[in-house]
């Protein structure tokens, strides 16, 4: 009998010790859910007792959204309607009556606060021709914004507001993005309020879309809708990777194809506008063309990738460096170029007056030259 009692006591001791270890390390395994009885109905509901601000569950983007969303703002614009030029003509008023004032045209978009000085980056098409621009922060504060400068070639604009204690976003490295990386799009779609959507990077270096002069878009399937323009595309750490700009859509809503301007381009535009009032871009004075069988035969080109130079401006930067018609530019400043759009974007990013290495294919020979870009001239429309 004594042996049975000893065995029983040892078993109970082991079980109690095991229960204590489990209750300490995995309390959810042994904790019973709290029972809640609603007043008046007597219905018994089971409720999990969990802290309101507990840690994010696995796979959640809560931390990234919280870090970035405070610096994403909503932008509301208004523009006075165009007045009929014949409104003051008495005969026009006789036949058509007095024309009442039309309501102002309203616009909607998003923006990203980049500095405590109040600089905000958004899309040029969001604020273009606007008479008044109102910025609403995520904490409900509002302020009138001033346009510091615009860059229609990349569809970017820099605004500034005067408020204290401004939250700012952390800039990431968009050049490190890879297809398949997870990203979040933050903005104010359709004016419903700040919204966060998630997706992946679908493609990089999208160009030849006819949206901007210089195109190097990040493509994503994160839902981007009207009103998201100018908002933030961030990574899973809440760092800014791009400025949401456009969508491909047949219905006006998201179809899983959105485009964002890389933060590397956005940073260059911001610094140029704040420092010089304009964006200073490189220019080498060449006439580029896509490689085609006819042109390759005409110029005797042996290269299979790159951009063919069909003309070189006399005494221009490229001519002074030794670039000749028939050369194929394959690499600029260490970056491969495969088409005209990539060449334009890469050359434009070069600093005027600072030499950069160019790799050329000249018939059977590979040639490297150093080209010192000049300042890109304004297009005729901008000059006027």
What residues are labeled active site? 125, 155, 229
Phi and psi at 107, nearest 5°, equal: -130, 160
DSSP readout, 336-370? Answer: E--SHHHHHHHHHTSPTTS-EEEEEEETTEEEEEE
For the record, the structure tokens of 30 come out as 């042994």
* H or E segment to which residue 286 belongs: strand 286-290
Q: Which residues make Cβ contacts (< 8 Å) with residue 256, sequence separation at least 6?
A: 199, 221, 223
Sign of the CA dihedral with 193 first, then 237, 345, and 221 last: negative
Q: What is the C-alpha to C-alpha distance for residues 336 and 292, in angstroms, rounded to an integer?
A: 18
The whole-angstrom separation of Cα 181 and Cα 61 is: 13
* CA 372 – CA 342 distance, rounded (Å): 18
Q: In this structure, are residues 217 and 174 in contact, taking their beta carbons and an 8 Å threshold?
A: no
- Asked if 184 and 61 touch (Cβ cutoff 8 Å), the reply is yes
Which phi and psi (to 5°) does residue 184 adopt? -120, 140
- Which residues lie closer than 8 Å to 146 by C-beta, 6 or more apart? 133, 159, 160, 161
Phi-psi region of 84 (alpha: psi -120 to 50; beta: other; left: phi over 0): beta
Which positions ≥6 away from 5 have C-beta within 8 Å?
Answer: none
Look at the block and give the residue holding tokens 């909503």. 74
């Amino acid at each position: 009998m004594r042996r049975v009692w000893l065995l029983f006591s040892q078993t109970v001791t082991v079980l109690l010790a095991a229960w204590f270890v489990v209750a300490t390390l995995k309390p959810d395994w042994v904790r019973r859910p709290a029972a809640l009885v609603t007043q008046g109905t007597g219905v018994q509901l089971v409720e999990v007792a969990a802290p309101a601000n507990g840690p994010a569950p696995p796979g959640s983007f809560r931390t990234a959204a919280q870090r970035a969303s405070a610096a994403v703002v909503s932008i509301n614009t208004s523009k006075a309607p165009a007045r009929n030029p014949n409104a003051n003509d008495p005969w026009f008023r006789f036949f058509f009556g007095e024309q009442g004032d039309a309501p102002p045209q309203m616009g909607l978009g998003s923006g990203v606060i980049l500095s405590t000085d109040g600089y905000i980056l958004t899309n040029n098409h969001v604020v273009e021709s606007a008479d008044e621009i109102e910025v609403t922060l995520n904490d409900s504060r509002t302020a009138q914004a001033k346009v510091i400068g615009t860059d229609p070639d990349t569809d970017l604009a820099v605004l500034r507001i005067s408020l204290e204690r401004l939250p700012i976003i952390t800039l990431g490295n968009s050049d490190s993005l890879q297809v398949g990386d997870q990203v979040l799009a933050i903005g104010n779609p359709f004016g419903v309020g700040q919204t966060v959507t998630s997706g992946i990077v679908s493609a990089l270096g999208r160009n030849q879309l006819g949206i901007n002069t210089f195109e190097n878009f990040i493509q994503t399937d994160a839902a981007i809708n009207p009103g998201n323009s100018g908002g933030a595309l961030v990574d899973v750490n809440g760092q800014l990777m791009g400025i949401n700009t456009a969508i491909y859509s047949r219905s006006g809503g998201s179809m899983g194809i959105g485009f964002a301007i890389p933060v590397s381009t956005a940073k260059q535009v911001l610094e140029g506008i704040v420092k010089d009032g304009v964006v200073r871009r490189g220019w080498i004075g060449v006439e580029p063309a896509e490689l085609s069988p006819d042109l390759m035969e005409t110029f005797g080109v042996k290269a299979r990738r790159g951009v063919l130079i069909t003309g070189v401006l006399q005494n221009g930067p490229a001519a002074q460096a030794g670039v000749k018609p028939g050369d194929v530019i394959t690499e600029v400043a260490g970056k491969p170029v495969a088409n005209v759009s990539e060449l334009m974007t890469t050359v434009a990013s070069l600093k005027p007056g600072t030499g950069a290495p160019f790799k050329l294919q000249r018939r059977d020979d590979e040639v490297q030259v150093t080209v010192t870009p000049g300042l890109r001239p304004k297009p005729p429309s901008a000059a006027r």
